[in-house]
Structure 1
Amino acid sequence: MPGRLEHKVAVITGAASGIGLESSILFALEGASVVMTDINAAALEKAEGLVKQKAPNAKVVSLKTDVSKEDEIKAAVDKAVAEWGRLDVMFNNAGIMHGDDDNALNTPEKIWDLTMQINVKGVWWGCKYAILAMRNNPTDESKGLHTGGSIINTASFVAVMGAATPQLAYTASKGAVLAMSRELAMVHAREGIRVNSICPGPLKTPLLMDFLNTAEKRDRRLVHLPMGRFGEAIEIAKGALFLASDDSSYMTGTDFLVEGGLTKSYVTPLGEPVLPPPTSLIN
């Protein structure tokens, strides 16, 4: 039985760890040819090796990419087209959450600018060059391939709700991703290019766990999570797979929340979590 991304070509940014790595493995297992990108060259090389180990028959290449530089994002898209003749899926996943990010009074301007450069401009440029490539996709009816494609932008649950533990630059950047994704979805809908954002809840990934570096910080969040646990990167990867695949063919402009019910919660349940988190593909 063919995979859900059979014959499709994908670029994934921030692919060396967390959501990006889980997605790279999952996309490859589902039949996609994948260009993995990340700013950390050593981690990216190791991640590429792991993807090839988990999906031995997959077509996977990697490219060191700094998403804050437009020419490097263009190069990643160009590599996908040069390798496999098209681009069907662009997963703009790379982003930062800086430890000095605070509130309006204390966030340094340089942290604000850095966060916007990576989390907003990086996504904009990823969308720009994906759209240009997707417009030129050749049609192959026998493989179900057409002009157009799916763009997925990683936002966050903080883009739709406030918090008394501020990270202002990060929150503002993710709000921008939501607004940008909706507008691009409307502009390009009749070109067959779908643009959706995915909004993770708090995850047990290195990015967040490094930020929540004390038990007190972690407990401050856990008390608000209806499921009683942080999410796992694989759970976001599965959401991204849905948005990348033709299963979501009638979805565009969506803020796809994968947050364990957090944004719908008023009072959380008592007791311990019943269902264990899913097994990571990384291990």
Structure 2
Amino acid sequence: MSLIDSHIHLFERGYADNRPAGAELEDYQSLRKRYGIDKALVVGFEGDSRFRGNSAYVLNLARDHDWIVPLSFIDPTNASARSVDEAVAAGAAGFSLYLGSDAALAEQVQADVWRAIDKHGSILSVNATPAALAGFGPVIERLGRSEVLISHLGLPGLAAIECSSADSLAPWTPKRLAALTELAKYPQVSVKLTGLYAIDPEFPHRQAEADVRVAMEAFGISRLVWGSDYSPGLGTVTVDQLFSVPDWLSKQLSADEVDDLTGKTMQRILEVS
């Protein structure tokens, strides 16, 4: 089965802002052929001044590359229903929301913005730490028609901060992921199995196993989706590592479950959005 990558970035001059225009796109095109990636959610990001205009850039790319599923960046401080409508008219399949650890940012988004997103049944990709996710339930309740994807397992942080080994993490993990697992009661929420290097930088990220296990128990494998986090992840791991599912995870899953994780679930989300 072809893979669907649930989380990549494409910046005109690369993530480090030091590459020839379009080089990052060319690299990913080669990689998607190598790894059999059929589609990719390209997450717009403009939370840094050097990436201003990234959403428009991604939308333009999507017009020429049908494998790109473009998600436009939402600035919580000035988003409007009109800007949502315009982005959808321009081809956006959904939106990306970056909260960091600030729960108050979601409260700054106007109610008509959530209504517009839900009206279109748009995908919402959310980057937020547990501190921000803890207050995110009321937003999800407004999005009955939209699929919500929580990136990077809810960014629980480095495992080493809590404990020194994967086994000793087990008692801590439910607490670390409590804000994330609380969202499992909303059927429109799925979790991106991305950014494991942010939990344990050493491949194959064994200290992330306890976090993944808790997420699987809460959401079920059918609500987890694989993603590479190209190209930011290449600052920590190799290309082959970035585009792989760690053996410790794949060996726990049946062939059908691996297919769900790496493509089928994301395909279902795209079909209903």
Report the TM range for the smaller structure's normalisation: 0.3 to 0.5
Q: TM-score, normalised by structure 1?
A: 0.39
TM-score under structure 2 length normalisation: 0.40
Bigger-Rg structure (1/2): 1
